[in-house]
Amino acid sequence: MTAAPSPVRTPAWPLSRSAIGLWVTEGVISSVLLGIAAILLAVFVPSEAPAPFPLLRWLVPTAAVAYAVLAIGVRPWVRYRVHRWEVTGDAVYTLTGWLTRTWTLVPIARIQTVDVTRGVLQQLFGLASVAVLTASSQGTVRVPHLEVDVAHRFADDLAHRAEQVRDQAT
Amino acid sequence: MSLLPEAAHRRTSPLIVGVHTVTFRQARQFVPILLPIGAAAGFDGGTTAVVLLVVGITLLSLVTAGLTWWRFSYADGPSAVVVTQGLLARSVRTVPNDRIRGVEIEAPALHRLLGLVRVRVDAAAGAVAGAEEELVIDGVSRAEGDRLRIAVLTHRSAPPPADGAAAAPVEEEFARFDNRWLLYAPLVGTYLAVPLAAVGALFRLADELPARFQPDLDGTDLFDGRLLWGAGAAALVLLVLGSVVGAAVVNWGFSLVRRGGSLIAVRGLITRRHTELEIDRIRGCTVAEGAGMRLAGATRVSALVTGLGDAARRGQLLPLGPRAQAWTLARRLVADPGPLLPHPPAARRRRVMRAVSGSLAVTAAGLVATALAGWWELLVAGVVLTVLGVPLGLARYASLGHAVGPDSFAVRSGWLVREEAVLQRRAVVGWRVRQSFFQRRAGLATVVACVGAGNGGYAALDLAADEVPAFAVAASGPWAATLSRPAR
């Protein structure tokens, strides 16, 4: 059965390109940790161990290499492509997810708080995340990895506009 | 009392010291300290030691209850409620009146004997979760409790209206519990759990009885057929009776009254509870029917109220009742969005596929097991489960539905508990559209209306993908048009 590729409109704006660098760094860090674990396994498991271990000695390093290729070479670009966001005249709108896609739309009139956070890696890459919270636990919009000045401008603008058009907000 | 200035600190009734002594309310926190001390000293001193221990604990309880009473005071000023308490570390909690979301008055059995009530002020602090959100003023007289409730709630509403209207607010009865409805209780899972829990407690007690008090059962043949049938029948009767009694204890004399701008629910046989909800904060209703309840046409109605702590219990508008009454009540609070529309046929295929996919995997594993090891049992189980999954999937599809009216909309889903949420348009604080890989291939999408009440979001499962933007715009407002494709 062929259907329209997407039920709703795709938000207009991509994240910052620096996000790719950050995701690659994250992939490198987790791959290194996994590699150390695989090496430890290979060193400390005796070669004449019983049945499943000889197999594991090959399986674990192979899996670690495959993970490293995916996490460093593929995942950052996929993530960059699937995250989109947009602020329109009266709403904030995001799209996330690759296999299962999720679009979230929150009207500016119902915004309760806008948070800007910067993790350690994000500070290295000059990035910041913005979370837009409403009265509903499920109605939270998160935009990861925007350039710091974009994020701050975005947050200030939202907070300012929310104050002007706010109704009961719940 | 009434001549004192308004913000004067008031005390709770001294009678509460008696109640708290008997229930060990404050002394309970010493149990973790006392137990090791007792264990170290040894309990083997005979009867005298036990009596001394009991007297000592009671005295300790009396002292702590007395001190707590002595150090506790509260004041309801024109702008805030202040509660001062604490033995050594004093704590003063001030809750501004405009942050108060509701007042609940409850009267447990002992309190009722002495004419006392416990007042809970729901403070909706937001940041702190759980019990911290409310102020508890335990042990004031019934009249003082009512005065406090009215005082707090009238201070909160902006300028009080002309005295005539304020003196006699209009009362209107929304629902009254008919005791015949208790007969629905054995069909409701939560009430069935009550006697089961009691039986569990009995077994533990029987286990801890000394051996000489336990009946000698070894001689009789426990697996005698008649005995087994008799025990089964007796257990069934007990289960049914227990659930009815459990429902009666919680819901006895339930009534829902509208007084001015709030709904007041009163309920309970032993502990009377008096809950007040503001109509202006109600964003919708859920009408839930369990699989067993549907057989008898019984339903449960809850209100979705913004900023309500402990909403599952406090939001109940009709704990148990026939469908017709339930819907009349729901319609009085939220406009009728019209009849539910079915979801597209692809949704039916998806429900059936999801219901059988697990058992198909079991069947496949069973095929492998039969081929390799000759274990045919797994294969049979897989086939039976698959066959049973088809009607389950169809039933789950049958309960899907959505409707949009001019002022409200409704979504329904669920088979074990079929829940229909009827929400006002203003309830929506956001939309979340989700589409999995399989939904994309089938042209479906799940739309969640994010709501600042109830469990935070209500989903329309498997809507036709191209209907999504129109549904969102119709059910909330023009801001949702961001979802639709720009006109070209």
Cβ count within 10 A of residue B390:
13
Q: Are A9 and B486 in contact (CB < 8 Å)?
A: yes
What pLDDT is recorded for position A106?
92
Three-state helix/strand/coil letters over chain B:
CCCCCCCCCECCCCHHHHHHHHHCCCHHHHHHHHHHHHHHHCCCCCHHHHHHHHHHHHHHHHHHHHHHHHCCEEEECCCEEEEEECCCCCEEEEEEHHHCCEEEEEECHHHHHCCEEEEEEECCCCCCCHHHHEEEEEEEEHHHHHHHHHHHHHHHCCCCCCHHHHHCCCEEEEEECCHHHHHHHHHCHHHHHHHHHHHHHHHHHHHHCCHHHCCCCCCCCCCCHHHHHHHHHHHHHHHHHHHHHHHHHHHCCCEEEEECCEEEEEECCCCEEEEEEEHHHEEEEEEEEEHHHHHHCEEEEEEEEECCCCHHHHCEEEEEEEHHHHHHHHHHHCCCCCCCECCCHHHHHHHHHHHHHHHHHHHHHHHHHHHHHCCCHHHHHHHHHHHHHHHHHHHHHHCCEEEECCCEEEEEECCCEEEEEEEEHHHEEEEEEEECHHHHHHCEEEEEEEECECCCEEEEEEEEHHHHHHHHHHHCCHHHHHHCCCCC
Which conformational region is residue B434 in: left (phi greater than 0), alpha (psi within -120 to 50 degrees), or beta?
beta
Q: What is the pLDDT of residues B201-216, one digit of tens each?
A: 777 777 766 665 665 5
Please tell me if residue A106 touches chain B, with a CB cutoff of 8 Å.
Answer: yes
Residue B40 pLDDT > 70: no
Q: What is the pLDDT of residues A74-113, one digit of tens each?
A: 999 999 999 999 998 889 999 998 889 999 999 998 888 8
Please tell me if residue A123 touches chain B, with a CB cutoff of 8 Å.
Answer: no
Q: What average pLDDT does the segment A18-32 reach?
A: 94
What pLDDT is recorded for position B288?
92
Please state the separation of Cα B234 from the chain's center in Å.
30
Least confident of A60-74, B207-221, B433-447: B207-221
What pLDDT is recorded for position B5?
44
Percentage of chain A surpassing pLDDT 70? 91
- Tell me which residues of chain B have a C-beta less than 8 Å from any C-beta of chain A: 281, 283, 306-307, 346, 426, 429-437, 440-443, 445, 448, 450-453, 455-457, 465-466, 468-469, 472, 476-480, 482-486
Please tell me if residue A5 touches chain B, with a CB cutoff of 8 Å.
Answer: yes
Q: Are A106 and B450 in contact (CB < 8 Å)?
A: yes
Whole-structure pTM value:
0.79
Residue B66 pLDDT > 80: yes
Percentage of chain B surpassing pLDDT 90? 24
Residue B165 pLDDT > 50: no
Quote the minimal CA–CA distance from B126 to chain A in Å.
10
Q: What average pLDDT does the segment A8-37 reach?
A: 92
What does pLDDT average to over chain A?
A: 86
Nearest to B437 among A1, A99, A103 (CB): A99
Rounded CA separation A145/A80 (Å): 10
Nearest to B431 among A90, A105, A168 (CB): A105
Please give the backbone phi and psi of residue B149, each rounded to the nearest 5 degrees, phi first.
-60, -50
Q: Are A7 and B456 in contact (CB < 8 Å)?
A: no
Q: Are B430 and A139 in contact (CB < 8 Å)?
A: yes
| Boundaries of every domain in chain B | 15-159, 176-213+228-251+278-333, 345-483
Quote the minimal CA–CA distance from A112 to chain B in Å.
10
CATH class of B15-159: mainly beta
Q: Measured between alpha carbons, how far is residue A65 from residues B108, B259, B413 in Å?
A: 65, 69, 44
Quote the minimal CA–CA distance from B465 to chain A in Å.
5
What does pLDDT average to over chain B?
A: 82
Please tell me if residue A17 touches chain B, with a CB cutoff of 8 Å.
Answer: no
Quote the minimal CA–CA distance from B436 to chain A in Å.
4
Quote the minimal CA–CA distance from B349 to chain A in Å.
12
Residue B487 pLDDT > 50: no
Chain A residue closest in CA terms to B451? A136
Please tell me if residue A47 touches chain B, with a CB cutoff of 8 Å.
Answer: no
Q: Which residue out of B283, B423, B425, B431 would a mutagenesis test of the A interface target, given it has the greatest number of A Cβ atoms within 10 Å? A: B431
Q: Are A28 and A75 in contact (CB under 8 A)?
A: no
Q: Highest mean pLDDT: which of A15-24, B4-13, B83-92, B93-102?
A: A15-24
Rounded CA separation B298/B126 (Å): 35
Chain A neighbors of B461, CB-CB under 8 A: none
Q: What is the pLDDT of residues B308-346, one digit of tens each?
A: 766 777 788 888 889 999 999 999 989 899 899 999 999
Chain A residue closest in CA terms to B466? A7
